[in-house]
Structure 1
Amino acid sequence: MKNKADKKDADPTIQTPPETEQKEQNTAESASGTEPKAEEAKTAEVQPEGARKNDPAAKIASLEKTVAELEDKRIRLIAEMENQRKRALKDMEALRYNVMTDTLHPFFQVFDHFSMAVAATSATNNLASLLEGMKMIQAEFDKAFSDLGIERIDATGKDFDPAQHEAVSEEASDTVPAGKVIRQWCFGYKSGERLLKPATVVVSAGPAGKPAAEK
């Protein structure tokens, strides 16, 4: 039996039945047709996604959404900046009011006393009493300045200092050396190391008629 089967396989004259050939052909065609259908299915799945990406209407809608979001952020930022500006102005106004009140408060009593002194001059001829009242008012002014940290500059008899003094004129003097202050017209004022107002003074030019080289 085995020898007969071997002979059948080796013998080229033995033909395959037609039914078997038809089945094999159908199987081959079926296998070869499966791949194109699978490729078509993949293409069908990918194509709509790509089409959506390239769709102008979809792009416009996406851009409009982005623009709307950015516009909303811009409006919110502008509103926040405006609120901060209003808060800053309100704080500055409150600070200005507090500084003004603290600065003027020490002078209220001084002005009241000065008004009383002016009223008293019409009721008395006592100049000594009036002078005493003026000195008291001056002392109150000095205290008010001191409370604010303001120091008065008295330049009389001192060397002329352009950093603190303002010379309005120069006069010859046989008693006051050249370069020193003969007379002070107005006091100067400073706060710490900061000059608020220079003292206006008259400066000595030395003895009259003396050459400048000898002064």
Structure 2
Amino acid sequence: MSKEEQKQEEQNTATEETVKAAEAEQKAEQKAEQKEQVPPTPEQLLEEARLKLEASEKKYLLLLADMENLRKRCMKDMESTRYNTMADTITPFLQVFDHFGMAVKASEQSDNLKMLLDGMKMIRSEFDKAFQELGVECIDAVGKDFDPNVHEAVSQEASETVPAGKVIRQWNCGYKTGSRLLKPAMVVVSSGKPEEAAKE
């Protein structure tokens, strides 16, 4: 065997030994990792699940308590709003009610109709003021086109001067607040001139 062949064989042997050493080292590392990654025991898994369940139950109970507190607060706010709204609505009429009582008492003690009429006018004025404070408006219908959205026709009458479809008279005032109708105006509607009404 020549020196070159001998040298080549020594190099091959050294390479094989290096590869084997590397493989052995890799296997040793894998075994060490496997030892470190020991699967948890059933008891450990059970304890972990118990802790997670306990945490979830605590979270659920806290959320439940928050929901109950929110429900109670909403109920309290609704009740407070209802009473405040009722108080705000009634308050403007308390003085009117007192003056009605005074007018009744005065009429029982006097035959003076003028005084009674003046008292009734004053009460009517206070009603108007109370309605104004609440944003309630009277619907003025006379001379306007009949509108079924805000008017309620109680009858029709022929008229020489008022065109058909227009309101001739208003029996009772209608009321609204903003765009909301509280009560329609009770009206008499023109059916046009007598001859036109007769043709229909």
Equivalences for residues 55-74 of structure 1 within 5 A: 55-74=41-60
The residue aligned with 1:18 is: none
Query: Which residue of structure 2 aligns with residue 30 of structure 1?
Result: none
Distance 1:211 1:51 in 2: 101
CA distance in 1, matches of 2:139, 2:147: 11
State the one-letter code of the partner of 1:164.
V
- The residue type equivalent to 2:143 in the other structure is G
Q: RMSD across aligned C-alpha pairs, in angstroms? A: 2.8
Amino acid at match of 1:203: V
For the pair 1:50 / 2:50, whether they are aligned, the reply is no
Which amino acid in the other structure matches residue 173 of structure 2? F
Aligned to 1:130: 116
Instruction: Say which SS state the counterpart of residue 125 (structure 1) adopts.
Output: coil
Q: Of 82, 95, 100, which aligns to 1:109? A: 95
The Cα of 1:120 is off from its aligned counterpart by 2.5
Which one is further off, 178-187 or 108-117? 178-187
Task: Tell which structure's C-alpha radius of gyration is larger.
Answer: 1
SS in 1 for 2:109: coil
**Which residue does 1:85 correspond to in 2?**
71
1:6-36 residue CA offsets vs partner (Å, 9 max, x unmatched): xxxxxxxxxxxxxxxxxxxxxxxxxxxxx79
Q: Check the 8 A contact 2:151/2:174 in 1, yes or no.
A: yes
TM-score (structure 1 length as normaliser): 0.70
SS in 1 for 2:164: coil
The aligned counterpart of 1:146 is: 132
Q: How many residues align?
A: 177
Q: CA deviation at 1:124?
A: 2.6
Q: Hey, what's the Cα distance between the residues in 2 that align with 1:57 and 1:202? A: 90
Look up the SS of the partner of 1:152 in the other structure: strand
Task: Say which SS state the counterpart of residue 38 (structure 2) adopts.
Answer: helix
Tell me, in whole angstroms, the C-alpha distance in 2 between the residues paired with 1:198 and 1:168.
11
Q: Which moved more, 1:158-167 or 1:197-206?
A: 158-167
Alpha-carbon offset, residue 43 of structure 1: 4.6
**Cα offset for 1:125?**
2.8
Counterparts of 2:146 and 2:176 in 1: how far apart (Å)? 16
Shift of 1:117: 1.4
CA drift at 1:87:
1.4
SS at match of 2:79: helix
What 5-or-longer segments of structure 2 have no aligned partner? 1-23
Equivalent position SS for 1:196 = strand
Percent identical: 55
Structure 1 runs not aligned, ≥5 long:
1-34
Does the alignment pair 1:180 with 2:166? Answer: yes
C-alpha distance in 2, partners of 1:198/1:138? 20
